[in-house]
């Protein structure tokens, strides 16, 4: 199977988990084409416990794996599935066509969940899940420029119709700002050296493709793979997170959840990055609003971890919305 999301070494004490970096090709894979191996499908679905004629939101449709599992779990439920990637949406639309109007697909960012629901005339929903980060097909598509393994434009946007590209971000930021991005989102100790080298390459007009970007990184830190990990991995991850404002999006989603969930509704957040997990953990600590379903985050089973390298860094946090005071 193809590994997909990238993760950082955790800064959290619990539970003990190995945050692994993996990009396609660094691990053995067997998923072909658009396929994306859904992580912790059983656990996410069990947390939401789809039931009756409930309405659920899959905030990260991707290949449609979680949406499909929710629909299969209960024949009367409906899913509103959001993604900011129109290519993913088209592929998932086909996969999910057998569910007819039980699935409503919306091209949007999940940070806009309130607007998405209000546009559909939905006030509250019974559950929301989010499987964060990027999908395997997004990493595999050279044209998106998310991977240092394929030559492509330095773009990295999940939604190619919106926002600045990675190259525009590099052009806009000064050395210090770029180093801060690489340090914060990539946990990269050599961030200053790398940022200087990238900016120099940009200034010399040598930064045209993802391979040029990798070259600038290698020029700063050398070609040695540490722990089997390419020297460009952390920097590519960091720039991608900044380009897509992934943590701002998550904060906006977490802030909206108490409003959009019914009393007793469940939020399930599957994260692959220590900063994402920390945000979910803190949000669910508000005990006036939330009752966590489990004390510590759930991890993928040994079997899933063996089959799907990407699942090794997954952490699932889920919480039930308390009843609003009457």
Ligand X SMILES: C[S@@+](CC[C@H](N)C(=O)[O-])C[C@H]1O[C@@H](n2cnc3c(N)ncnc32)[C@H](O)[C@@H]1O
Residue ranges in 119-138 that form contacts with ligand X under rule CB under 6 A: 131, 133-135
**Residue 264: which H helix or E strand, with range?**
strand 261-271
| Cα distance between residue 236 and residue 203, in whole Å | 19
> Could you say whether residue 71 binds ligand X (CB under 6 A)?
no
Outline where DSSP puts E strands in 108-160.
125-131
| Cα distance between residue 260 and residue 123, in whole Å | 7
221: nearest Cα among 241, 191, 199: 191
What number of chain residues touch ligand X (CB under 6 A)? 23
Task: For ligand X, give the closer residue by CB, 160 or 196.
Answer: 160
Of 24-32, 81-89, 98-106, 285-293: span binding ligand X (CB under 6 A): 81-89
Interface pick for ligand X out of 88, 105, 167, 194 (rule CB under 6 A) = 88
| Cα distance between residue 236 and residue 166, in whole Å | 9
> Could you say whether residue 45 binds ligand X (CB under 6 A)?
no
Count of alpha carbons within 13 angstroms of residue 81, beta-carbon side: 33
Q: Minimum Å distance from CB 144 to ligand X? A: 10
> Could you say whether residue 85 binds ligand X (CB under 6 A)?
yes
Q: Minimum Å distance from CB 307 to ligand X? A: 14
> Could you say whether residue 65 binds ligand X (CB under 6 A)?
yes
Residue ranges in 139-158 that form contacts with ligand X under rule CB under 6 A: 158
Note whether 322 and 289 are within 8 A (CB).
yes
Note whether 243 and 157 are within 8 A (CB).
yes
Q: Minimum Å distance from CB 6 to ligand X? A: 11
Site residues for ligand X per CB under 6 A: 5, 36, 38, 60, 62-66, 82-85, 88, 109-111, 131, 133-135, 158, 249
């Amino acid at each position: 199977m193809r590994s997909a999301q990238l993760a950082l070494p955790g800064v959290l004490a619990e539970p003990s988990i190995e945050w692994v970096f993996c990009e396609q090709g660094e691990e053995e894979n067997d998923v072909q084409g658009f396929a994306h191996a859904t992580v912790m499908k059983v656990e996410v679905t069990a947390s939401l416990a789809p039931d009756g004629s409930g309405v659920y939101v899959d905030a990260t449709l991707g290949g449609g794996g979680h949406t499909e599992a929710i629909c299969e779990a209960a024949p009367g439920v409906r899913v509103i599935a959001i993604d900011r990637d129109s290519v993913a949406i088209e592929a998932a639309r086909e996969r999910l066509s057998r569910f007819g109007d039980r699935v409503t697909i919306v091209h949007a960012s999940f940070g806009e969940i309130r607007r998405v629901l209000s546009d559909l005339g939905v006030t509250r929903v019974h559950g929301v899940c989010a499987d964060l980060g990027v999908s395997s097909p997004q990493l595999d598509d050279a044209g998106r420029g998310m991977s240092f393994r394929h030559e492509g434009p330095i773009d990295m946007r999940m939604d190619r119709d919106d926002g600045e590209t990675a190259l525009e971000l590099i052009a806009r930021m000064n050395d210090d700002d770029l180093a801060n991005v690489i340090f914060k989102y990539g946990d990269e100790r050599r961030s200053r050296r790398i940022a200087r080298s990238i900016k120099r390459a940009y200034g010399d007009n040598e930064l045209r493709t993802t391979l040029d970007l990798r070259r600038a990184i290698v020029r700063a830190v050398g070609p040695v793979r540490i722990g089997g990990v390419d020297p460009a991995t952390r920097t590519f991850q960091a720039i991608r997170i900044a380009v897509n404002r992934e943590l701002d999006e998550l904060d906006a989603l977490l802030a909206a959840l108490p409003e959009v969930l019914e009393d007793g509704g469940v939020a399930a957040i599957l994260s692959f990055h220590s900063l994402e997990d920390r945000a979910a953990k803190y949000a669910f600590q508000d005990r006036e609003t939330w009752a966590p379903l489990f004390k510590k985050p759930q991890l993928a089973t040994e079997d899933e971890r063996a089959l799907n390298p990407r699942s090794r860094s997954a952490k699932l946090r889920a919480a039930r919305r308390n009843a609003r005071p009457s």
